[in-house]
A and B are shown apart, each in its own frame.
Chain A
Amino acid sequence: MTLADDSPRTVTAPAVPAPPDPTPPPVPRRRGPSLSRNRWGYAYVAPFFVVFGAFSLFPFLFTAWVSLHDARLSDISGGTFVGLDNYAALLGNDFFWNALRNTITIGVLSTVPQLCLALGLAHLLHYKLRGRTFFRTVMLVPYATSIAAATLVFATLFGRDYGIINTALEAVGLDRVDWESGTLSSQVAIAVIVTWRWTGYNALIYLAAMQSIPGELYEAAEMDGASKWRQFLHVTIPSLRPTILFTVVVSTIGAVQLFGEPLLFGGNGATTGGARNQYQTLGLLMYQQGWTNFNIGQAATTAWAMFLIILAVVGSAALVGRYRARREGARR
């Protein structure tokens, strides 16, 4: 995996609960006769790989095979081989392009504000605070709330006739918004749900990274007369760049798969994503193809298209990361 560079760098244990034994200074790895060439290794990884292979890896790869078939949910045994027909059909399918457009719009509307807010929040949490643990825990409450619960609550808040967001809009003299039936308004509402659930989580990731920025960098910047804001711009942000890249990738992968929020937002469990499909995402389209229309061959094709999108995102992030690393290497 491109992002997770597993080269033997210095890695310390998660320090949260301190290990009972203080870690001794690193010693050269001993290739003693005992634990090296240990056949038991296979036995120790076997349970993981059996379950993982059967229920994750195999189904994932088999999705590609199903996508080459005209397969129905009613006939689970396989269907007929049709080559790339499903892919051709997908590319000619207006619903696919609509779902792709919606997925991208909602993805941008949720990822960008979410990560910007998380950066600001991390900055605030980085101050010396009274009740530090309390604040951190509170920020994580949305993350602990399930997609289903969060979406149902927000659907109530965004309700046309009784939602308190509209009540508040009216109270300040604005017009009520029919959030669900508008294209942009429904997508904004769904993006708000995603942003609410993930901002605090990302803030904690940024906070952890901020805490490992050496203080000398700030001292040097201060000596150069840099203001707090310039320090944030020129010390904090560059130091967080790998972390930011990582959160962008993870959020984007989440955005490509968005499913529960658009499924439940309409309040009737419809897989259409609104009367005009105005907030149907790729994940929802796949579910509709497979479990409403019983066309699992087509659904598998959509799944594989989603995978290709994710691959493109991760690949370009890896390229950006590598380019950055090389440029920084050249500067030194």
Chain B
Amino acid sequence: MTAVLTPPTATTPRTTGRRPSTRAGRAGPVAYTLLVLAGLLSVFPLYWSLVAGSHTNAEIAATPPPFLPNATFFENVSAAMDQAPLGLAIVNSVVVAGSITVGTVLFCTLAGFAFAKLRFRGSGPLLALVVGTMMVPTQLAVIPLFMMIAELQWVDSLQAVILPTLVSAFGVFFMRQYLVTALPDELLEAGRVDGASTHRIFFSIVLPVARPAMAVLAMLTFLTAWNEFFWPIIALTAANPTVQVAIANLGSGYVPQRAVIMAGTLLGTLPVLLVFALLGKQIVGGIMAGAVKG
């Protein structure tokens, strides 16, 4: 669901972290208390999946409930892996989200550069088309999409979930907005005077300048692709799932084994949490940079 990622209009002029005004006061104890509370609410459900995932059903139901995880977690994980091919699912998700990320960043940078700096007939209406469809949810296209992949006999194969999300209108707009200002016209003209072709200019001038925005787009795209639910659950089956499809099937068993479901769910979420732990600051910055200008 790219639409949710995508504040349109101009990106906010900000300098990272430093507030231009002196207006925001220092946080008092009340503010800290509320923030810590909000933080606890944010992480509690995931922590609970760890706790619940490391006990039996009976233990979770006890009063008072357990509040610490223990080693039973690994037993439950292996039980979850017996019920759903979670290993395969993680490999599939890495392939799918990785391909989508590479494709989106590459194609959107190419198109974003063209819309930002190359003048060609029809570029205005084409850009308007990109912006106009940014908010149209992909969910509304799934019926013909399914007819297409059924025709191509792609049901249950990974290209069925990679290709439809290989590009994003948001990505094009995002790269264009960045390059319009980050890439000085003089630099391009200088390259042109030196006799460089458009491609040469793209590779040796545009790409280095675009790199920071490409990194932000890559992180956001990977996160979205990893978590994509609606289309994969239609296009894939339990035999060859992505992580989200596998988790969903785990949760839909006839005999719900809560502890096992929780263990499997957490296992499938760990890769994004890892990415988040490493790149959280950049992801936060990326989302805030995409925010609307007032």
B73 within 8 A of A: no
Cα A10 to Cα B71 in complex, Å, equals 56
Q: Residues of A contacting B131 with CB < 8 Å? A: 1, 4, 6
Q: With A39-B120, A133-B284, A139-B39 in contact, do A164 and B20 touch (Cβ < 8 Å)?
A: no
Q: Residues of B contacting A249 with CB < 8 Å? A: 135
Q: With A6-B131, A63-B140 in contact, do A153 and B46 touch (Cβ < 8 Å)?
A: yes
Find out whether the CB atom of A35 lies under 8 angstroms from the CB atom of B192: yes
Find out whether the CB atom of A153 lies under 8 angstroms from the CB atom of B180: no
- Closest-CB distance, B158 to chain A (whole angstroms): 15
- Closest-CB distance, A192 to chain B (whole angstroms): 10
Q: Which residue of A lies closest to B151 (CB)?
A: A76
Q: Total number of A-B contacts with CB less than 8 angstroms?
A: 457
Q: Residues of A contacting B64 with CB < 8 Å? A: 167, 171
Q: Residues of A contacting B230 with CB < 8 Å? A: 257, 259-260, 283
Binds B, one of A53-61, A85-93, A182-190: A53-61
B38 within 8 A of A: yes
B239 within 8 A of A: no
A48 within 8 A of B: yes
Q: With A145-B46, A148-B248, A208-B291 in contact, do A60 and B136 touch (Cβ < 8 Å)?
A: yes
Find out whether the CB atom of B292 lies under 8 angstroms from the CB atom of A205: yes
Q: Residues of B contacting A177 with CB < 8 Å? A: none
Q: Which residue of B lies closest to A120 (CB)?
A: B34
- Closest-CB distance, B41 to chain A (whole angstroms): 7
A332 within 8 A of B: no
Binds B, one of A20-28, A103-111, A272-280: A20-28
A239 within 8 A of B: yes
B68 within 8 A of A: no
Find out whether the CB atom of A15 lies under 8 angstroms from the CB atom of B143: no
Find out whether the CB atom of B185 lies under 8 angstroms from the CB atom of A30: yes
Cα A284 to Cα B65 in complex, Å, equals 34
The residue that B3 contacts in the complex, of A139, A140, A253, with Cβ under 8 A, is A253
Cα A31 to Cα B188 in complex, Å, equals 12
Interface size class of chain A, counting residues whose CB lies under 8 Å from the partner chain: 35 or more
Q: With A209-B294, A303-B139 in contact, do A161 and B61 touch (Cβ < 8 Å)?
A: yes
- Closest-CB distance, A270 to chain B (whole angstroms): 8
Cα A151 to Cα B25 in complex, Å, equals 38
The residue that A21 contacts in the complex, of B148, B180, B187, with Cβ under 8 A, is B187
Find out whether the CB atom of B137 lies under 8 angstroms from the CB atom of A310: yes
Question: How many chain B residues touch A (Cβ–Cβ < 8 Å)?
Answer: 156
Cα A142 to Cα B41 in complex, Å, equals 9
The residue that A205 contacts in the complex, of B198, B265, B288, with Cβ under 8 A, is B288
- Closest-CB distance, B275 to chain A (whole angstroms): 8
The proximity string for B residues 117-156 relative to A, scoring 1 for CB distances below 8 Å and 0 otherwise, is: 1111001001110011111111111111111101100000
Cα A152 to Cα B251 in complex, Å, equals 7
- Closest-CB distance, B116 to chain A (whole angstroms): 10
- Closest-CB distance, A179 to chain B (whole angstroms): 15
Cα A138 to Cα B180 in complex, Å, equals 32
Cα A302 to Cα B65 in complex, Å, equals 43
Cα A29 to Cα B184 in complex, Å, equals 10
Cα A42 to Cα B114 in complex, Å, equals 8
Find out whether the CB atom of B286 lies under 8 angstroms from the CB atom of A14: yes
Cα A18 to Cα B27 in complex, Å, equals 28
- Chain B CB within 10 Å, residue with most, of A19, A47, A133: A19
Find out whether the CB atom of A38 lies under 8 angstroms from the CB atom of B119: yes
The residue that A213 contacts in the complex, of B32, B43, B294, with Cβ under 8 A, is B294
Q: Residues of B contacting A3 with CB < 8 Å? A: 8-9, 135
Cα A141 to Cα B115 in complex, Å, equals 34
The proximity string for B residues 256-268 relative to A, scoring 1 for CB distances below 8 Å and 0 otherwise, is: 1010011001101
Q: With A16-B286, A127-B26, A146-B244 in contact, do A35 and B115 touch (Cβ < 8 Å)?
A: no
- Closest-CB distance, B2 to chain A (whole angstroms): 10
The residue that B216 contacts in the complex, of A17, A144, A306, with Cβ under 8 A, is A17
Find out whether the CB atom of B292 lies under 8 angstroms from the CB atom of A40: no
Find out whether the CB atom of B45 lies under 8 angstroms from the CB atom of A208: no
The proximity string for A residues 313-330 relative to B, scoring 1 for CB distances below 8 Å and 0 otherwise, is: 010000000000000000
- Closest-CB distance, B63 to chain A (whole angstroms): 6
Find out whether the CB atom of A51 lies under 8 angstroms from the CB atom of B12: no
- Closest-CB distance, B170 to chain A (whole angstroms): 10
Find out whether the CB atom of B13 lies under 8 angstroms from the CB atom of A12: yes
The residue that B164 contacts in the complex, of A20, A56, A198, A303, with Cβ under 8 A, is A56
- Closest-CB distance, B27 to chain A (whole angstroms): 4
Find out whether the CB atom of B14 lies under 8 angstroms from the CB atom of A15: yes
Q: Residues of A contacting B180 with CB < 8 Å? A: 11, 13
Q: Residues of B contacting A137 with CB < 8 Å? A: 276, 280-281, 283-284
Q: Residues of B contacting A45 with CB < 8 Å? A: 110-111, 114-115, 123, 126
The residue that A164 contacts in the complex, of B65, B133, B146, B291, with Cβ under 8 A, is B65
The residue that A208 contacts in the complex, of B41, B273, B289, with Cβ under 8 A, is B289
Cα A111 to Cα B198 in complex, Å, equals 47
Known: A152-B265, A253-B3. 20 other contacts (CB 8 A): A4-B131, A4-B132, A9-B10, A12-B12, A17-B213, A21-B182, A45-B115, A48-B111, A66-B147, A141-B276, A144-B227, A146-B244, A153-B45, A171-B63, A208-B12, A209-B292, A212-B14, A243-B294, A268-B256, A290-B143
Q: List 8 A-B contacts (CB under 8 A).
A: A14-B290, A19-B212, A34-B192, A60-B144, A124-B31, A145-B269, A149-B269, A214-B20
